[in-house]
Amino acid sequence: MMQPQGRPRPKIDDVAREAGVSRGTVSRVLNGGHWVSPPALAAVNAAIKKTGYRVNPHARNLATNKANSVAFLLTETHDRLFADPNFAVLMRGAADALAVHDIPLVLIMAGTDDEQRRATDFLTAGHVDGVLLVSSHGSRKGVIADIIAAGVPAIACGVPLGFEKKMGYVAADDYQGALELLEFLDDGGRKRIATITGPQDTSGGIRRLEAYRAHQGEAFDEELVAPGDYSRESGARAMRELLARVPDVDAVFAANDLMALGALEVLHDAGRRVPEDVAVVGFDDISAASAATPALTTVRQPFDRISEEMVRLLLDVIAGKNHAAITIPTELVVRESA
């Protein structure tokens, strides 16, 4: 209810008087309704509606020592935020899950040393109640260490390398997903399977390469491995390297879809038919995967569920529960590229 101009803003005392209860009862209702009888709860809610009382969030935050917000901490450069659609999907999912609890999500970028310093200062100063850590790199351990040392509740997307026992996380089953994809290439008769790896300071990059090594076994050949950084450009660069080193390659497993799309472009320019000459597979199932020519066979990460579970686990930690870790199965998506 909007208050007429010039009329004093309703206070808790006004609500208590209207409801016929104590000021303390109104405060308990405003802070969750614990230890309030159903009749009193109904009376207070009716009084709030009638008086037009609105909570002063700043005052409530001071009283409860809570910021009533959560940070989405992305340890990547700004260009990666827009280039990799997975981040936007995760952020939207987290924002939707938090909106149910009326908690806003604050995006914080920490891709450079200066940004990481500012992010650490902000997060450890009590400006947020918790952190959703996305794209954690083992080479950027300082931010994670500072968050843990300050006691800030946090949940990571993917395994926080070096801090597996100190921070909860939600991860896709990178190893099993990659292995299933490689076995699918085997079933298709592919003999010279190369891989374009993800960054080896991320849990996803490490686990997907581990699956490739395990799949190849004694036949593992370093010549069939080319490094990438999850960007489309690195996929194209790696594909050119592979064609120069192993021209008889007949399949490529790229550790994410963006790199697979870069590989497709290079193969097209080189006159290699996909999948007749070279099969190409990725990982993630971004929207561009189904729109590619040919459409990309890949592994689907359930990002909606990952973001929901991250929020659920974070709210548990904020409420005082122990952190937990969850690994979520992936799904093979077969299309025309393999």
Positions of E strands within the chain = 70-74, 105-109, 130-134, 154-157, 168-172, 193-197, 225-227, 251-254, 279-281, 298-300, 325-328, 331-333
Q: Which of 58-72, 144-158, 241-255 comes out lowest in average pLDDT?
A: 58-72
Q: How far apart are CA 207 and CA 210, in angstroms?
A: 5
Per residue in 211-254, pLDDT (tens digit) is 999 999 999 999 999 999 999 999 999 999 999 999 999 999 99
Greater confidence (36 vs 156) lies with 156
Neighbours of 19 (CB within 10 A): 22
pLDDT at 81: 75
Per residue in 11-49, pLDDT (tens digit) is 888 999 999 998 878 877 876 666 678 898 999 999 999
pLDDT confidence band for 62 (50 / 70 / 90): very low
Burial group, residue 296, by CB count within 10 angstroms (0-12, 13-18, 19+) = buried
Greater confidence (142 vs 313) lies with 313
2 has pLDDT over 70: no
Question: How much of the chain exceeds pLDDT 70, in percent?
Answer: 92
